[in-house]
Amino acid sequence: MSYKRARKTDIRKLWDEEIIKSHDMNIRKRAAILTAIILFGFCVIFLRLVDLMVFKHETLIQKAQQQYQKVITLMPHRGMIWDRGMRELAINIETDSLYAVPSDVNDVNTLSKELAPLIRVSASRLISKLSSERKKSFVWLARKIDEETSLKVGSLKNKLKLKEIGLLTETKRYYPKGQLASHILGYTDIDNKGLEGVELRYDKYINGEKKNILITRDARGVNLSQGSEGDIPGNNLLLTIDEGLQNIVEREIEKAMETWRASAAVAIMMNPMTGEILAMANRPTYDPNSPAEADVHERRNRAVTDFYEPGSTFKVIAAAGVMDEGLVRLDEKFDVSKGFINVGGGKPIRDVHRYGVLSFKECVQKSSNVCLVQVGMRLGEKDFYKYVKKFGFGEKTGIDLPGEVNGFLRDPKNWSGRSLASLSIGQEIGVTPLQLLRAYSSIANGGNLMRPYIISEIISPSGEIVKRFTPAIERRVISEDTARVMRDILKTVVEVGGTAEKASIKGNLVAGKTGTAQIIDTKTGRYSSNDYVSSFVGFVPADNPRIALIVVIYKPRGATYGGVVAAPVFKNIVEHTLTYLNVPMDTEENYVILVSNPR
């Protein structure tokens, strides 16, 4: 019995030991498996961290930045534009622009309907824009809005707690003098890039470096900060024009437009000795602060982009050429008593009045077509063409303004039997107002053809001269003696018996010439019986010129002669200009009181 009990005890003990042993093994197995699982998990996490932190580091940073940061490139801060007295003509002002984060917009329709009336666009347009850009984190809704609109948008944003829209400060080009010198200055687009005038011509100089704005937002879309970098302004431009003279010129041609109900008008004032443009004005005109509100023809700088048949103002080319070649004497007589001359078939070329016998000097004074045709024929096709080219016609003047044209001048091989006669009196040729003014300036300065220019200096933001422009002589056109004689002849045009008595100025001698040219009707291809270009070009004081000035009036109504329409405008501009410049009188006498036979 005792043996059996002992045996049972041993067996139970062994069984218990096996159970314990088996249990321990199970525990160890589970521990091993759990450890393996944990180690595997850590390995997976480690490998994932390696993947994220090493291999996908840059990609994730970019995604984070796209989500929480946005770099916006704003257009650069343009340099200023000054007149010759450093008075501001183009500056920059700060203004707000409205943007949205389309990816954050929950209700496109509601947001669009709230914003549309404030920024003056249709709700449908905003809905379309936000919907099409849904995946983007930034989109402009309205650029460079006015202060009132900005305040309204800001109020709406705060009222509705809108996190998906915001306002950024940008610079906007602003022209404090409005329409003044608009065709010279030009204008910029919404991104401050020059589109016309010196804004376009010198865009690379005055356009500063781009500015980057960093917008930082938290996970809830709230703006945390705005930083900037690269805000380097562009260079400044110093013009040759004078604001005071520009005002005078614009005021007077505006009056002329109203008086003569003209379709357009141009006036340019230049220093004949240097080629500096002192004023340049066009009508119609526009406000460069709102260029989109103007028509194309209002923004066109007709002074350099439009050419026309100059008529009698061109007669000085034949006169100067024949004088320079020594083919005529100043007192030589020309019989123009018939009042017409037949050349190369077609209609006779006529004078407005029958003059009888005139000296060469009187031919120019009275603007005799018959005489100047004879003078041109004496010069001959080859030499006449030579002087036309020497005076700068048929080519650009080289002025630093965009859009300049060559004008119109045919090669002599394409001339008809009548062309030389027609050219002698200013027909069959197209000139720009600036080309003609430059030609007269060469007579004023002693025979040199100057390159006209409108920028005198480019100045860095720190005040250093980046580039300076100085007078440049293109070539000698006529001798000094010929220029002196031509000045004396042109003085008689403004005296009693001349065609421009209304251009006479008390105290200072004027030298110049009138022009009255018919405009070709584009429908018939013939000269219009109603539409004319009336002009006057000259320089003052005649013996020591300070200014050269051209006035061109297109399609005046009520009168057509340059002596009636354009000469008084010239007179008014010059009188105010001489006072403004403090030019002393040569004499107290008033040279012309009564007007006779203006043309």
Residues 145 and 250 reside in one and the same domain = no
Which pair of tokens denotes residue 129? 């824009």
Report which of residues 320 and 146 the model is more confident about.
320
516, part of any domain: yes
The residue out of 238, 253, 281 marking a domain boundary is 238
112, part of any domain: yes
Q: Tell me what the mean pLDDT of segment 304-311 comes to.
A: 96
Measure the CA–CA gap between 486 and 330, rounded to whole angstroms.
Answer: 10
Domain assignment of residue 107, given as a range: 70-238
599, part of any domain: no
Measure the CA–CA gap between 383 and 322, rounded to whole angstroms.
Answer: 9
- pLDDT tens digits, residue range 322-367? 999 999 999 999 999 999 999 977 789 999 889 999 999 999 999 9
597, part of any domain: no
Which pair of tokens denotes residue 423? 């050219």
Which pair of tokens denotes residue 573? 């501009």
Asked whether the predicted pLDDT for residue 172 surpasses 70, the reply is: yes
User: What's residue 175's pLDDT?
Assistant: 97
Residues 47 and 146 reside in one and the same domain = no
* pTM score, whole prediction: 0.83
User: What's residue 596's pLDDT?
Assistant: 39
The secondary structure of 145-178 as a DSSP string is E-HHHHHHHHHHHHHHT--SEEEEEEEEEE-TTT
Q: CATH number for the domain including 188?
A: 3.90.1310.10
User: What's residue 28's pLDDT?
Assistant: 75
Residues 224 and 325 reside in one and the same domain = no
Residues 80 and 96 reside in one and the same domain = yes
Q: How confident is the model at residue 109 (pLDDT cuts 50, 70, 90)?
A: confident
Active site residues: 312
Residues 6+ apart with CB under 8 A from 551: 253, 256, 265, 266, 267, 535, 536, 537, 566, 567, 569, 570, 573
Residues 255 and 164 reside in one and the same domain = no
Residues 433 and 397 reside in one and the same domain = yes
Q: CATH number for the domain including 462?
A: 3.40.710.10
Residues 22 and 122 reside in one and the same domain = no
592, part of any domain: no
| Angle of CA points 519, 374, 312, to nearest 5° | 30
Name the amino acid, one letter, at 229. Answer: E
User: What's residue 191's pLDDT?
Assistant: 87
Q: If we measure between CA atoms, which residue out of 534, 532, 539, 597 comes closest to residue 567? A: 534
Residues 327 and 377 reside in one and the same domain = yes
Measure the CA–CA gap between 322 and 149, rounded to whole angstroms.
Answer: 67
Question: What 3-state DSSP class applies to 115?
Answer: helix
552, part of any domain: yes
502, part of any domain: yes
Residues 484 and 428 reside in one and the same domain = yes
User: What's residue 42's pLDDT?
Assistant: 77
Asked whether the predicted pLDDT for residue 65 surpasses 60, the reply is: no
Residues 205 and 330 reside in one and the same domain = no
Q: If we measure between CA atoms, which residue out of 511, 509, 444, 451 comes closest to residue 480? A: 444
**How many domains, in total, are found in the chain?**
3
Asked whether the predicted pLDDT for residue 249 surpasses 80, the reply is: yes
392, part of any domain: yes
Q: Report DSSP state, residue 226.
A: E
User: What's residue 18's pLDDT?
Assistant: 66
Which pair of tokens denotes residue 426? 């200013």
Q: How confident is the model at residue 595 (pLDDT cuts 50, 70, 90)?
A: very low
Residues 364 and 392 reside in one and the same domain = yes
Residues 87 and 131 reside in one and the same domain = yes
